[in-house]
Amino acid sequence: MRGVKNFLRKKTVGYWLSLFGAVLSLITAVVYAAAYAGSNYMSWLSFAMLLFAFAAFLLLSAFDISAPFAPAAAGIFDLVAMCLYIDGIYMYLTEVFYGGVNAASMAELDPAFVFCLLAEIVCVGLGIAGVFMRQCRPVAKKKSSAVRKAGSAMKGGER
């Protein structure tokens, strides 16, 4: 239990935002598969990339040495997933907007389509933002006893 507490104590806001993006990738994969699994609009490769984004973030963020690369990996997998999603579902848009883009055709859009598209955009954005944010708190280096003695001698502690 202490290991989990220490692990979570080291994490910063950047980690939590990136974790939200990774969990959103997993939720998007589930919604996408549930909504389009039996249709021609399903891209199983996009589904796999969403799962890889989640798994890559979890695996890379588990270790301090690879934690800074976790949001980049998740963001790249999410971007590839979004491109594959658009490639797999663009024909759906041609069917919905066949009569032109108007309020009636916008109302016909499937809520799962809108959710998946917006969620993938948010996931990519959080992946990019996570790259520029610190994932772990910096560890304070302990001074050696020789450095402490020299420091206290300079302050007048030892004469």
- Structure confidence at residue 29 (pLDDT): 96
Q: By the 8 A CB rule, do 79 and 124 touch? A: yes
Residue 144: partners with Cβ closer than 8 Å, 6 or more residues away:
none
- Structure confidence at residue 59 (pLDDT): 94
Domain region containing 131: 2-155
Q: How many CA atoms lie within 13 A of 11 on its CB side?
A: 19
- Structure confidence at residue 92 (pLDDT): 87
Distance of CA 11 to the CA centre of its chain: 15
- pTM of the predicted model, to two decimals? 0.79
In total, how many domains does the chain have?
1
In this structure, what is the dihedral angle of CA atoms 32, 34, 38, 41, given to the nearest 10 degrees?
Answer: -10
